Structures are given as structure tokens and as C-alpha cells.
């Protein structure tokens, strides 16, 4: 049976509105206190240790490598086996977890070793990330930022409508959801006619993004076409690319983001496969002017994934400040990957490519504080009565994302991080 079939039910309980029904079957890297790091999947509020299932022979004939599901690099080894193996594992898990299959359901000893309440498993960054690329692919976001710092008539730079603009970021500072974020310090220039200062950023911001992990690519010197891209994309996670706007504004000319971006990015723990998101493909925007042949594509390459951002203050009050959608991307993932490799750049299993800030046309769909509060000129009112121009110490930023259609909900979960004060100098 197709793992996406909406009629499927699991023998594990799935709360109403859960991001993780049996039709999802995401992959993550977790650790139970009594076990070594291992690959996990999730159903409802339970995490399932895939190494324990493998050791019990339940993936016989599907996976190749003996220890593919154990160790801090396990998902990289798993993904190196390619999309056919990943699909086979997802299919086998769908069969094992169905309500009428007793093989795992009635094996109490194996369940005790493999199935845990989600709160008992510490989730890490899903993969060992070798390289990280951040794109700039939301037209509305690019227009908003260009309007602020230049003028609306010249908001988009001349190259923006012709290629997916991106830059290479820092992989070592990508941290799992729940990791506290230390306010960074650096140089910034408070006004054009003043000398630069050094100190904690005064304009700490989030960026609402969706990122994708890759399979192992082609050899150096070869390229991946838009038609081939799906076979090189493992799956998606939520991504908060924290930004220090004042530091960034002073440093980014001429070489782009540096200290304003590389201090931290937060990622959600689960990778949701493209196969699980297949029912939620939608058409993208008309691209005018027409793109060059290597960026042209067929079919639906955008995804209808609802996104939201909330701020929780130290007092515990939570306010949703943004509701956006992944479909707002101008440049889709197939185009991003094709552009990334068109010069022969090779990709590896576990490389991460992020969308860039995702903003819709409505003011409450802007994907950063820079836009929502319009460079600090329109402070946001939170539910506890306080106001925000940017993120303050003690604030927790929470991002959530899910796709929903015909009573089927597939979610990416959430990514969150609490801001700590800067270290003194």
C-alpha cells in the first residue's frame, strides 16, 4: 500500500492535529539515555529507534550497510545508500507501524528497546552537515529589504530575477532546536556620520526558512538538472537563520554576510522526505523575464506548507507574529540545486541548502522582524502588552510548519531557541 494513503492508521496513538501521522515517517538523529546515538523516526508522540529494528532483522533486504542506523554519522551513511533505499525503509516502516501488523506491535521486548515517548529521546542536528548554502529566494522578502535600504523602484538588484542568489554559510554553528542562542557581539555603525562601535547587537533577528538536505551528488565537474533534482533531495527541515542586522549592515559590502550570520542557525530535528510531501505540490509563480534554459522546469516544484513564527516572552506569554507559506518562494528547490551545481560544484550527502527568508505579500506574512517591524519603525505589540522592534534577551522564537489537505496533515514539527545575554568583554 502507498505510504501516503490517507486511510492508513498506526497501532501507536496519534493525537489529533499531530504533525507526525503514519503517512509522514520522518528521519532524525536521536539519543536515549540508555543507548548510543541512532537514527529515529516518529509517530505521534513516540520516537522509534531504527537501529534496534535493524538489529532485529526487520530491514533485511532493504538496507546494505551493517551499522547504517547507529552512530553520530548514521543518517549520512543511510542517505549515502540513495533514494531507493530510503524509500524502501520508509515503505517497510509504514508496513511495520500499521494498526493490523502484529510483527512489531505485539513484540513487547523489542518495543521496550525501540519505542519511546518523545520526551525521553534527545534529538540532535539531523545530519552531520558538511556544507551549508543559504539562498535569497522569496521575491517579497528581497523587495522589502531592497525598499528599506535602497528604494522601491530599485528594490531588486539586476541579477535577482535571473538566478537564485545565494551564499555559503557556516555549518559548524548550526544547532538543534531547543539550543539557547547567545546574543552576538561585533562592529556596527549606529548612523552614517558616526564612527563604528563594538558591542552586543542591538538588532537581533530571526529568519523564517525551510532547508533541504541532499543525497550524494555527481562527481566534481558535473551538474544536476532541474529534471533530476528530486532524486538528489533527501528531505526538508525548518530553519531559523539568526541574524544580527546592525552587524550585517556594516560588514556585508563588498563580500556579503559574515559575523552578522555565522554565530548561530537553528534547525528542527526531523527530516521530512519529498515523498511524504508529494500530495502538497503546487504550481509556482510565473517567472518573468523567462529564465535561462538550465533553470526551466516542468511540473509542480513548489510546496504548500503553512509556516508560522511565535515569540514567547520570559513571562510565558506566546504571540504568533507571522503566518507565511513555503509556496511564496520565487525560486524553487529544483532551481536552487540546478544553479548550485551548474558550474560543476559537487554536493555530498548531508549538505544543507536553506531557502532564505520566506515572506508573503501580506504584512503579517513577512518572515523576519526586520520586515514585520519595518526596520524598527513599526514595533509589534505582543499579547502581554510589550512591544518588539527586534528580539530581546529572554525571548524564545518558535517556528512551526505543516502541510494539510483532505484530512491529511504532514508537519515539519518546530524549531525553537531562547536568546541569552551577550557575554561580557
Asked if 141 is an active-site residue, the reply is yes
Cell of 153: 523602484
Q: Where are the beta strands (DSSP E) in 122-279?
A: 122-123, 132-135, 166-168, 174-176, 181-182, 185-188, 197-200, 204-205, 208-214, 233-240, 243-244, 265-267, 272-273
Rounded distance between C-alpha atoms, residue 371 and residue 230, angstroms: 32
Q: Where are the beta strands (DSSP E) in 294-375?
A: 302-303, 306-312, 318-325, 352-354
- List, in order, residues 6 or more apart from 61 with CB less than 8 Å away: none
First to last CA, the chain: 61
Count H helices and E strands in the chain, helices first.
Answer: 9, 26
3-state SS class at 369 = helix
Residue 278 CA: distances (Å) to CA of 2, 86, 96:
12, 15, 22
According to DSSP, the β-strands at 46-49 and 38-43 are: antiparallel
- Catalytic entry in 32, 77, 141, 339: 141
Which residues are known to be catalytic?
Answer: 141
Amino acid at each position: 500500500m502507498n505510504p501516503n494513503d490517507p486511510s492508513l492508521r498506526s497501532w501507536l496513538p496519534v493525537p489529533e492535529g499531530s504533525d507526525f501521522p503514519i503517512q509522514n515517517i520522518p528521519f532524525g538523529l536521536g539519543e536515549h539515555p540508555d543507548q548510543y546515538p541512532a537514527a529515529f523516526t516518529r509517530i505521534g508522540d513516540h520516537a522509534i529507534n531504527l537501529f534496534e529494528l535493524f538489529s532485529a532483522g526487520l530491514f533485511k533486504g532493504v538496507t546494505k550497510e551493517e551499522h547504517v542506523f547507529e552512530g553520530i554519522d548514521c543518517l549520512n551513511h543511510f542517505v549515502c545508500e540513495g533514494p531507493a533505499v530510503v524509500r524502501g525503509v520508509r515503505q517497510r516502516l509504514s508496513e511495520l507501524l500499521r494498526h493490523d501488523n502484529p510483527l512489531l506491535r505485539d513484540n513487547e521486548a523489542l518495543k521496550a528497546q525501540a519505542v519511546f515517548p518523545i520526551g525521553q529521546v534527545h534529538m540532535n542536528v539531523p545530519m552531520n552537515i558538511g556544507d551549508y548554502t543559504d539562498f535569497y529566494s522569496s521575491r517579497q522578502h528581497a523587495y522589502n529589504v531592497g525598499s528599506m535600504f535602497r528604494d522601491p523602484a530599485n528594490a531588486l538588484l539586476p541579477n535577482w530575477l535571473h538566478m537564485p542568489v545565494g551564499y555559503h554559510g557556516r555549518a559548524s554553528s548550526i544547532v538543534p532546536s531547543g539550543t539557547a542562542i547567545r546574543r552576538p557581539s561585533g562592529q556596527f555603525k549606529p548612523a552614517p556620520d558616526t564612527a563604528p562601535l563594538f558591542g552586543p547587537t542591538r538588532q537581533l533577528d530571526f529568519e523564517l526558512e525551510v532547508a533541504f538536505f541532499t543525497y550524494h551528488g555527481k562527481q566534481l565537474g558535473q551538474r544536476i538538472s532541474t529534471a533530476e533534482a528530486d532524486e538528489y533531495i533527501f528531505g526538508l527541515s525548518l530553519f531559523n537563520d539568526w541574524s544580527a542586522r546592525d552587524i550585517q549592515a556594516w560588514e556585508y559590502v563588498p563580500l556579503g554576510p559574515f559575523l552578522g550570520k555565522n554565530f548561530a542557525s537553528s534547525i528542527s530535528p526531523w527530516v521530512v522526505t519529498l515523498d511524504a510531501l508529494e500530495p502538497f505540490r503546487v504550481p509556482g509563480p510565473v517567472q518573468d523575464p523567462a529564465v535561462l534554459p538550465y533553470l526551466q522546469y516542468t511540473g509542480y516544484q513548489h510546496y504548500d506548507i503553512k509556516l508560522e513564527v511565535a515569540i514567547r516572552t520570559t513571562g510565558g506569554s506566546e504571540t504568533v507574529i507571522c503566518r507565511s507559506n513555503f509556496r511564496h518562494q520565487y525560486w524553487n528547490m529544483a532551481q536552487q540545486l540546478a544553479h548550485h551545481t551548474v558550474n560543476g560544484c559537487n554536493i555530498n550527502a548531508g549538505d544543507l541548502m536553506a531557502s532564505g527568508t520566506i515572506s508573503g505579500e501580506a504584512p503579517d506574512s513577512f518572515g523576519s522582524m526586520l520586515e514585520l517591524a519595518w526596520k524598527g519603525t513599526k514595533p509589534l505589540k505582543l499579547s502581554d502588552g510589550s512591544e518588539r522592534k527586534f528580539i530581546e534577551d529572554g525571548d524564545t522564537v518558535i517556528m512551526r510548519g505543516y502541510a494539510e489537505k483532505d484530512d491529511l496533515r504532514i508537519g515539519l514539527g518546530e524549531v525553537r531557541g531562547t536568546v541569552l545575554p551577550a557575554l561580557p568583554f
